[in-house]
Amino acid sequence: MSARAEIFEVGPRDGLQNERRMIPAAEKIALVDALSRAGFRRIEVASFVSPKWVPQMADGAEVLAGIERAPGVRYAALTPNLRGYEGARAAGADEVAIFASASEGFSKANLNATIAESLARFDPVVAAARADGMPVRGYVSCVTDCPFDGVVPPADVARVVAALRDFGCYEISLGDTIGRGTPEAVDAMLDAVLEEVPADRLAGHFHDTAGRALGNVDVALARGLRVFDAAVGGLGGCPYAPGAAGNVATEAVLAHLEARGFVTGLDPEAVAKAGRMAQAMRRGDAA
C-alpha cells in the first residue's frame, strides 16, 4: 500500500492576503470552488483579522457564504482573537486556526503583541472552540528565521509549539514565513519540536523565497511529517514579513510528493486549472 501525504491548500488565504489589487469576493469564491473539485480535504479560505491590518481578507464572510461546499472538505479560517473566532463561526467555517510567532519581532509586527500576549488572546478562542466542538489548528511563524530578529533558536519554536499543543490544537503547522530556512536549520528545528509533538500532528508550511521549499519538504518527510501547506500558483507572502515570497506552489509539492510515491488524492489537472485561475487573479484578468 502506498503511503499517503496531504496538501493543506492555503492559497485563498495565505496566497491572496498579500495581493495589492482588491480581489472581488466572486473571484475568490470561484477559486475556492475550483479547489473543492481538486480533491483537497482542507482548504483555508479566509481570515477574520482586522480589515485595517489586512484589507484583502475583509470579505471572509462573503466568501464562506458564496462557496459551493463539497462533501468531505473542511473550509478553514484564520482567527487572531475572540472577535475573529466569532466571525468565523458565524460565517460557517468548519475549523479555525490560531497563529503565533516563534520570534518576538514578527509577533509584534503581525499581531501587535508579544508572544505571551498573543497566546493569552488565544485562551478565549480555544475555550469557545472547545465549547462549540470546533477543531483548532495552530500555526507557528518564523520557525527558522525572522525578518526582524534573524535566526530563531529551535528551543523557542518548541516552546510555542508546546503552548499550542496545550491549547488542544489538533495539528500545528510550522511556518518558514520568509522562506529563508535551510534544510539543516529545518532539521535542527524539527529535532526540538518533535520532543514536544509527534510528527503526525505537525505540518510543514514553507515559503519559497530561496528555492529551498521542496528540499525542506524532503527533510520534513524524512522526519515523518505527512502534511504540507501550499498555495496554488505559488501565490502569497505575508504583509508583515518583509521579503516573504509566495508559498511553495501546490503544483510543485504535488509533483514532488507523487514522484516520491506518496498518494495525495488530488487530481493534478484540477489543481493545475485552479493554479492558472490563481495566476490570472494576480494579473487581474480572471474571467
Active site residues: 238
Does residue 144 contact residue 152 with C-beta atoms inside 8 Å? yes
Using CA atoms, how far residue 143 sits from 108, 173, 229, 264, in Å, is 16, 10, 14, 25
Q: Whose Cβ is closer to Mg ion: residue 14's or residue 27's?
A: 14
Report the partner that residue 28 touches, choosing among ligand HMG, Mg ion, none (CB closer than 5 to 8 A by kind). none
Closest distance to Mg ion from the beta carbon of 268 (Å): 23
Residues 6 or more apart from 224 whose CB is under 8 A from it?
198, 199, 200
d(CA 119, CA 100): 7
Closest distance to ligand HMG from the beta carbon of 113 (Å): 7
Find the helix packing angle between 104-111 and 115-132, rounded to 10°. 60
Region from 43-51, 149-157, 188-196, 267-275 binding ligand HMG, contact rule CB under 6 A: 43-51
Among 5, 12, 13, 14, binds Mg ion (CB under 5 A): 14
Contact code string over 157-196 relative to ligand HMG, x by CB under 6 A = ------------------x-x-------------------
3-class secondary-structure state, position 45:
strand
Among 40, 122, 228, 240, binds ligand HMG (CB under 6 A): 240
d(CA 145, CA 188): 13
Closest distance to ligand HMG from the beta carbon of 44 (Å): 9
